[in-house]
Structure 1
Amino acid sequence: MPMAIRIHRTGGPEVLTYEEVSVAAPMAGEALIRHTAIGLNFIDTYFRSGLYPAPNGLPFIPGNEGAGVVVAVGEGVSHVAPGDRVAYVGPLGAYAQERLVPADRLVKLPNAIDDRTAAGMMLKGMTARYLLRRTFRVGPETTLLFHAAAGGVGLIAGQWAAHLGATVIGTVGSDDKADLARAHGYTHVINYNRENFSARVKEITDGKGCDVVYDSVGRDTYPGSLDCLKPLGLWVSFGQSSGPIADFNLGLLAQKGSLFATRPTLFSYIAARSDLEATAQDLFDVVAGGVVSIGINQEYALADAATAHADLEGRRTTGTTVLLPG
C-alpha cells in the first residue's frame, strides 16, 4: 500500500503522521497519479494547525500541489492518459505517494520543465502570475512592495516583476535573504529587523509611495503596509504567515488616501479550466524561457514532513521546498 502523511488532530508539526493508506481506482472524471515530487507551501501549515478547517474534516491528508505520472484515468477523461507527466494545484491530499485527483485540475508538463521544478512552482508560480497580471497589472510604470521577498512566491514574483519593467521593493528578515532577493529581481531590499519598512519605502519613492503592496505576512505588517501606498493604491493581502489580522479597520483605507484592499486566493483565479490552462501556460513560458528561475532550495523525504513544517514556520527556509515521496 502507498504511504501518506495524515492529520488526525490539528496542532503543531508533531501531528503529521506517516502511515499506509488505501487508494481506490479512479471514478468518472478522476485520475490516479503516482507522485514524483510534492510542493511544500505555507498554506499547508494553516490546514495542519486548524487555522483553515479541512473541507472534509478529520482525518485528512494535507498538501495542495504535486507532480507525477498518470497511472490510470476514470470514465470521461480524455485530456490526460496513463504515462503522461502532469502537475496540479488542487484539493487537499498531495502528501502521498499516490492519490486521486480531479482530472480537470491536471496540466501536462512540457519537456522543458522537470518534475521537481513543477511540484515546487505550480502554486507559488501561478500565485505570482495572478498577482502580477490580474489582481494588479504590473508594468514599467509600476512601483511595488512585496513582503517576504525571499520566500517561494517572493523570489518568483521579483524576477517576473523585474522582467515586466517594474521598480520592485522587497522586505526580508536577514542579510542573507536580502542578498537572495537582490539576485532575484528586487531593485531595493529592506531588512525589517533593522529598518522601519514603511519609512524606508517613503524614502525610496521620494515620499510618493507604491502603486501596490503584496502582503502575505498579515499581522506583523498591518497597518504598516497601508502607509507604503500612494493615494488610491492597492493593498493585496494574500496570506498571513505571522498570524491573522485581528481587527481590520475599513476606515483606515479612507484616512490613508482612499486606498483599495483585496483578499484574493489562487483558487478563485483558476476555477475555470480555461483560466487554469492560461495561468499554467504563462508560468511554463517564463520558466522555460529563462525569465524566472525556480530554485529548489530544500528537499525533504515525505516521511520527514514534520521537520519541513518546523523549518518553514521557523523561517529557516528560502525559496522553494519539495517533499520527495520515495
Structure 2
Amino acid sequence: MTQTRAIIFETPGGPEVLKLVTREVGAPGPGELRIRHHACGLNYIDIYQRSGVYPMPLPQVPGMEGAGVVEAVGEGVTHLAVGDRVAYAAAPPGAYCDVRVMHAAQVCRLPDSIDFRTAAAMMLQGLTVQYLFHRTVPLKSGDTVLFHAAAGGVGLIACQWARAMGIRLIGTAGTDEKCALARAHGAAETINYEREDFVSRVRDLTEGRGVDVVMDSIGAATFDRSLDCLRPVGMMISFGNASGKVPPFDLSILGAKGSLQLTRPTLFTHIARHEDCQAMAAQLFGMVETGKVAIRIGQEFALADVAEAHRRMEARATTGSTILLP
C-alpha cells in the first residue's frame, strides 16, 4: 500500500472544515490508474461541493483537477503507461492529495512542452472554454460575446481564445485592475460592473443590437440583466453560480425578450466520453503550445494551506488560476 496526504471534509461548511489527513492508497483496478500529483488545481466547483451547494457523499476529498506522473495502470488501460506525464479534469472529486487512484478515461498524456504547474492550472478551466466556444454554441469570427468574471481563471483563457478566433469579447469584472488584466489578455472591451450598468454599456458598445452570446458563471446576481444584453434569438449560457443559484423563472420571458435561447451546461457532460475528452484536451494543448493561450497562475498554495486558498477565492481576491502544491 502507498501512503498519501489528503485534504478531507466530513461535513459541509466553511473553509475551516477542510483538514489534512494521511491515508493509504491501493493498486488501480480495471480501467484505473494511480497518479502521483506534482500540482493540483483549485476551482469554484470545489467551493460549491465543500459548502454543500452541490451535496456530496461524506467524508470527501475535494478537487477535480491535477497533473503528475502515472505510477501504475490497471487492466484495460491502453492509452497511458507507467511513467507518463499526465493531466486531467475529471469527476469524481479527489485531487487534493499526493497520490490517488482514479478512472483513466479522462486522464490525458501531457506534452513535454507544458509543465505540471501550468497543466494543473488549465485543465478544468481550459476545457470549459473549449466546450463553451466549440461545443455549446459554435462561435465564429465576428461574433460578439459578453463574458462575466473575465479576469478569473476561465475568463483570462476565454479572452485569449476569443482573440485568437477573431471574436469580440466584452468582459466584466469588479475592479479597474481586473478590467485592465482582461484587456491585456484579449478582451476587446471591459465593463467594471461596480461602477457601470453593464446592460446599458453593452447596448452602447453594440449600437443597441445586443451580443450574440452571454457566458455567465456568476449566476443569481447577473442572470436577469444578462438576458437584456442579448440580441433577438441570442444564446444565454449559464455555466456557474458563484453568487448563488439562478431561481426558477417563467420561460415565457425568453419569448418576450426576443425568442432567446438558454442552456445550463457542465464540463463533465462534455468530457464523459473518452474520445471527446481526449480530442478536447488535444485542442487545448495546441492552443497553449502555439502561444495563442498563456495560462496565468495568480496564486499558489501548499496543500496544507488549502483553507486559506478557499477563503481568498470566495472573497474574489484571486485572479487567473489557483494551484495547490503537494
**TM-score normalised by the shorter chain: which range applies?**
over 0.9
The answer to whether the 8 A contact 1:146-1:213 is kept is yes
The equivalences for 1:153-172 within 5 A come to 153-172=154-173
Structure 1 position 209 matched with structure 2 position 210: yes
Q: Which amino acid aligns with 1:17?
A: K
The equivalences for 1:62-211 within 5 A come to 62-90=62-90, 91-211=92-212
Cα displacement string for residues 119-150 of structure 1 (whole angstroms, at most 9, x for unaligned residues): 11000000001101111212222011000000
Q: Unaligned 5+ residue runs, structure 1?
A: none
Q: Partner of 2:82: helix, strand, or coil?
A: coil
The answer to whether the 8 A contact 1:120-1:321 is kept is yes
Aligned partners of 1:63 and 1:78: how far apart in 2? 25
Structure 1 outlier segments of 4+, above 6 Å: none
> Larger deviation: 168-177 or 16-25?
16-25
Q: Partner of 1:22: helix, strand, or coil?
A: strand
Q: Which amino acid aligns with 2:55?
A: P
The equivalences for 1:29-44 within 5 A come to 29-44=31-46
Aligned partners of 1:256 and 1:20: how far apart in 2? 54
Q: Partner of 2:301: helix, strand, or coil?
A: strand
Shift of 1:247: 2.4
Paired residues in the alignment total 323
Q: Which amino acid aligns with 1:167?
A: R
Aligned partners of 1:41 and 1:72: how far apart in 2? 27
The answer to whether the 8 A contact 1:86-1:108 is kept is yes
Query: Normalised by the size of structure 2, how large is the TM-score?
Result: 0.98
Cα displacement string for residues 290-325 of structure 1 (whole angstroms, at most 9, x for unaligned residues): 000001110000111100000000000001110000
Aligned partners of 2:167 and 2:79: how far apart in 1? 37
Q: Partner of 2:280: helix, strand, or coil?
A: helix
Q: Partner of 2:159: helix, strand, or coil?
A: helix
The answer to whether the 8 A contact 2:106-2:271 is kept is no
Shift of 1:29: 1.1
Aligned partners of 1:250 and 1:127: how far apart in 2? 26
The answer to whether the 8 A contact 1:150-1:172 is kept is yes
Q: Partner of 1:21: helix, strand, or coil?
A: strand
Partner of 2:4: 2
Shift of 1:78: 2.0
Aligned partners of 1:38 and 1:304: how far apart in 2? 13
Aligned partners of 2:106 and 2:161: how far apart in 1? 24
The answer to whether the 8 A contact 2:48-2:54 is kept is yes
> Larger deviation: 280-289 or 71-80?
71-80
Partner of 2:30: 28
The answer to whether the 8 A contact 1:159-1:186 is kept is yes
Partner of 2:15: 13
Identity over aligned residues, as a percent? 55
Q: CA RMSD in A?
A: 0.8
Aligned partners of 2:199 and 2:137: how far apart in 1? 21
Shift of 1:40: 0.4
Q: Partner of 2:11: helix, strand, or coil?
A: coil
The answer to whether the 8 A contact 1:86-1:106 is kept is yes
